[in-house]
């Protein structure tokens, strides 16, 4: 394995020497180029704003600006055009950044090869998860993971699907747990759970005691959904075959807020099966009706990069997640 890592590192050096700067880089410049500079440059390109990029990198704007100026001086290339109002990536700068992004992934892959040479799930692991899964999934899974894989060191990051898929693709996260369907753009999905949606209504509502309900029976003017940016909203609209442009009475950022509003008889909402037990601890006030539309209404999956070195570990986690969920549902 050590020989393999050295081989990959030599490949990386050759990439730097032969490709990255299109014959603008010589051996001297290669030694000056650091991964930290690459991270800084990619952060500026992502945000097109030095202050936001500096905040993302946890450094001061002046430190970031000096690092970028030093990088450009070493390469003798202008990567960014900047003034007080905006930042523009130059044409050659974009080509440089594309190669730099690949180098970052190659180096990340080298680290993965090293850490995955040991026993599966016996190392640091970063996992992203979306907010409509984490409150109901993590309390169940984390204690079991700690018990079964005592040497694993997890870093959990909660965010929306678009941000998590980007971070997995860029190597900022090892993997992420999201709901499907979702455009993965080249990432690999390992599905471990599927579920339907359930209508939650107040006992004073007309849907009281309905075990099943069709989408065309729902009063859309009373249906409360999560705000834009939450994939759960899109999945609900797809399951019900409702138009995204339809007007809904209230929009919220959490399912718990929606449930509290239902308790106040302000309307109804739809939630995934996974969330029911955690959200509805006092069923005397609420009624639960299965959405009787073709399913499953959403699938839960672990997503990774195609060439992820820890695929065996990802598969082990998926199997573990599946078994754990089946025991409680």
Strands 298-304 and 175-180: antiparallel
Q: Which domains does the chain have, with CATH numbers?
A: 2-115 (1.10.10.10), 124-191+300-328 (3.40.190.10), 197-291 (3.40.190.10)
* CA–CA separation, 154 and 265 (whole Å): 40
* CA–CA separation, 196 and 167 (whole Å): 28
Distance of CA 326 to the CA centre of its chain: 24
How large is the average pLDDT for residues 217-228?
A: 88
Q: What is the pLDDT of residues 124-145, one digit of tens each?
A: 789 999 999 999 899 989 998 8
Give residue 123's pLDDT band: very low, low, confident or very high (50, 70, 90).
Answer: low
Question: Any long-range contacts for 160-164 (C-beta under 8 Å, 24+ apart)?
Answer: 160/130, 160/131, 160/229, 160/230, 160/231, 161/130, 161/231, 162/229, 163/128, 164/128, 164/129, 164/130, 164/303
Residue 263 has pLDDT above 50, yes or no: yes
Ordered alpha helix ranges (H), 151-192: 161-170
Q: Quote the pTM value.
A: 0.66
Residue given tokens 């999956």 in the structure block: 301
Lowest mean pLDDT among 117-121, 145-149, 282-286, 302-306: 117-121
Residue in 196, 224, 223 with CA at minimum distance from that of residue 212 = 196
Residue 28 has pLDDT above 50, yes or no: no
């Amino acid at each position: 394995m050590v020989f393999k890592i050295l081989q990959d590192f030599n490949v990386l050096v050759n990439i730097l020497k032969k490709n990255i700067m299109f014959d603008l880089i010589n051996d001297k410049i290669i030694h000056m180029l650091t991964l930290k500079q690459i991270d800084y440059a990619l952060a500026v390109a992502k945000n097109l704003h030095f202050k936001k990029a500096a905040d993302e990198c946890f450094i001061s704007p002046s430190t970031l600006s000096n690092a970028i100026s030093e990088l450009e001086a070493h390469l003798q290339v202008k990567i960014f055009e900047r003034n007080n109002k905006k930042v523009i990536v130059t044409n050659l700068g974009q080509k440089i950044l594309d190669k730099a992004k690949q180098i970052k992934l190659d180096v990340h892959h080298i680290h993965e090869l090293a850490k995955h040479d040991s026993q599966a799930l016996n190392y640091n692991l970063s996992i992203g998860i979306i907010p409509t899964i984490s409150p109901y999934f993590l309390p169940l899974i984390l204690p079991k993971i700690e018990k079964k894989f005592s040497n694993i060191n997890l870093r959990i990051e909660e965010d929306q699907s678009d941000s998590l898929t980007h971070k997995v693709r860029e190597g900022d996260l090892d993997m992420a747990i999201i709901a499907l369907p979702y455009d993965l753009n080249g990432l690999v999905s390992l599905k471990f759970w599927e579920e339907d949606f359930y209508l939650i209504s107040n006992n004073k509502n007309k849907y009281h005691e309905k075990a099943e309900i069709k989408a065309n029976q729902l009063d859309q003017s009373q249906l409360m959904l999560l705000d834009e940016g939450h994939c759960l909203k899109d999945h609900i609209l797809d399951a019900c075959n409702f138009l995204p442009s339809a007007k809904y009475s209230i929009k919220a950022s959490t399912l718990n807020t929606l449930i509290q509003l239902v308790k106040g008889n302000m309307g109804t909402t739809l939630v995934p099966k996974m969330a029911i037990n955690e959200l509805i601890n006092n069923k005397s006030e609420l009624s639960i009706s299965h959405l009787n539309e073709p399913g499953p209404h959403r699938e839960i999956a672990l997503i990774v990069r195609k060439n992820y070195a820890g695929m065996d570990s990802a598969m082990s986690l998926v199997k573990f997640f599946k078994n754990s969920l089946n025991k409680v549902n």
